[in-house]
Amino acid sequence: MRNILIHADDGPGMPARLESGLAIGRRHRSHLDLVISSPFQQFIATDPFGGMYLASEQLAKAQAADAALDRRLRADLEREDVPWNVTLADGDVLATLTLAATLADLVIVSLGTADRRRSFTPPMMAGDLAMAVPVPVLAIPEPCGPIDLDAPVMIAWNGSLQAAHALRAAVPLMRDAQQVIMVSVGQDEGQVAADDALRYLSRHTIHAELRHVERSVETIEEALERTARDIGAGLIVMGAFGHTRLRETFFGGVTRYLLESAPAPLLLMH
């Protein structure tokens, strides 16, 4: 993971994103790319008669805030021992990060909350990004601190291709974990056998434990959340949106549930 892309903003999740990037960067000799997204088109308004005008005062304030954030990040990073750069990009956050991730190895974002008064991050941005980019997305819940690379890792396993992609992408982040536990809920084996996944990890010198959790009154997502809390997981590895995104939006699902209530950082990949 030599190229790490970090979504940069003034939100409450920014310190954890930056510290996570630095922690990973030091272990993997990575370069950090911090992108400040400035969707200036939001300051162009229309009237009922089809006219358009620029909200220049609000635009000036937004530009000043972005410039201040840029200066502050550069001052903080000057003291660090990881190579970096900071970029101001004009455009929607999702579109900006999707383009910037084209040549990244990992993207770090926050998991937003439904309370827009407390969160700068749209609630489903991490999920949208995981669907849009061909690289793993590390999504950190805003109440959490930075990723702990030595803590136990939980792999949410359902035998899907998405879960296999996530597992493969997470190998560099699992090498130093105290423990790696692959959790399967219920009997649905899926397309990729758990034994094959364990064998793949063992060839990377990662010796994971397979834990089957029987279905009960809990849903799959509730069982995964409880297990992650029980083992003190510092990272949850999972495939994103095994069902269609439309179905999960309307009916819920494991991905949507954990995007809203994950007890630890999520490593997502579709």
Q: What is the side-by-side order of every strand in the sheet holding 106-111?
A: 84-90, 31-38, 3-8, 106-111, 137-141, 266-269, 235-239, 153-156, 180-185, 209-213
Q: What pLDDT sits at residue 247? A: 43
Q: What pLDDT sits at residue 251? A: 37
Angle value at C-alpha 198, between 195 and 200, nearest 5 degrees: 110
- The pTM is what? 0.89
Q: What pLDDT sits at residue 2? A: 94
Q: What pLDDT sits at residue 90? A: 85
Report the SS3 class of residue 93.
Answer: helix
Q: What pLDDT sits at residue 43? A: 56
Q: What pLDDT sits at residue 246? A: 46
Q: What pLDDT sits at residue 256? A: 86
Residue 138, strand partner residues: 108, 267
Question: How many Å apart are CA 135 and CA 236, to the nearest integer?
Answer: 16
Question: How many Å apart are CA 186 and CA 181, to the nearest integer?
Answer: 16
Rounded mean pLDDT for each run of 10 residues along the chain, 270 residues in total: 95 95 97 88 58 65 89 96 94 92 96 59 81 94 92 95 96 97 84 95 97 86 94 95 51 78 93
Q: What pLDDT sits at residue 149? A: 96
Q: How many CB atoms lie within 10 A of CB 215?
A: 12
Domains of the chain: 3-141 (3.40.50.620), 153-269 (3.40.50.620)
